[in-house]
Structure 1
Amino acid sequence: MAYTLMPLFFFNVFNDAVTMDDEGAELVDAQAARAHAVKNARSLAAECVLHGYFIASNRIEIEDENRVVVDTVRFDEAVDLRP
């Protein structure tokens, strides 16, 4: 049986501090990487709200295995803001 290696993606967080992902995650494709980033952005945004603030421009940058940015998820894109 042949095994196919999944691509490696890195998720760098830009919020109160900059956290560069040194480990990455193996995911099926860029769409799965974006879904992973959205989930994490929601979690980080919720943590900020618990502390009494929300910064819409905070973001997670997704890099491919060559460390090239392939997508960005802003915290305000990860949630549905309602009046």
Structure 2
Amino acid sequence: MPRYHLNLFNSADTYDEDGRDFEDLAAAKEEAIRSSRDLMAEHVKAGEPIDLGHRIEVADDEGKVLATIDFRELITITDSKAAAA
């Protein structure tokens, strides 16, 4: 199984030095999406702002970035009151 690294770029960048084995790139991207949403949910629960500029990059063992998961692409915020006005 190929090894991928999920590197988090936020206010405290975190590089996934060890990486993890995933079936394929699609599976690694799904984990990055899940992790991104979990991080955003933690901020919401703590009453902290979400920085939509944060991201997770999925890289191979050689450090080549294969995919970028931008937080801003994972969340949609609507305001039904504003839409009704």
TM-score over 0.5 (shorter chain): yes
Q: Look up the match of 2:33.
A: 38
Q: Unpaired runs of 5+ in structure 1?
A: 1-5
Kindly, what percent of the aligned residue pairs are identical? 33
- Judge which range, 26-35 or 44-53, deviates more: 44-53
Q: Look up the match of 1:29.
A: 24
Q: Look up the match of 1:71.
A: 67
**SS of the residue aligned with 1:18?**
coil
Q: CA offsets, 1:7-36, max 9 Å, x none?
A: 000011011210010111100111111101
Shift of 1:37: 0.2
Q: Look up the match of 1:57.
A: 53
CA distance in 2 between counterparts of 1:82 and 1:21 reads 33
CA distance in 2 between counterparts of 1:80 and 1:57 reads 14
RMSD: 1.3
Q: Between Structure 1 and Structure 2, whose CA radius of gyration is higher?
A: 2
CA distance in 2 between counterparts of 1:62 and 1:81 reads 25
- TM-score, normalising length: structure 2: 0.83
| Residues matched between the structures, number | 78
Q: Look up the match of 1:16.
A: 11
CA distance in 1 between counterparts of 2:74 and 2:22 reads 19
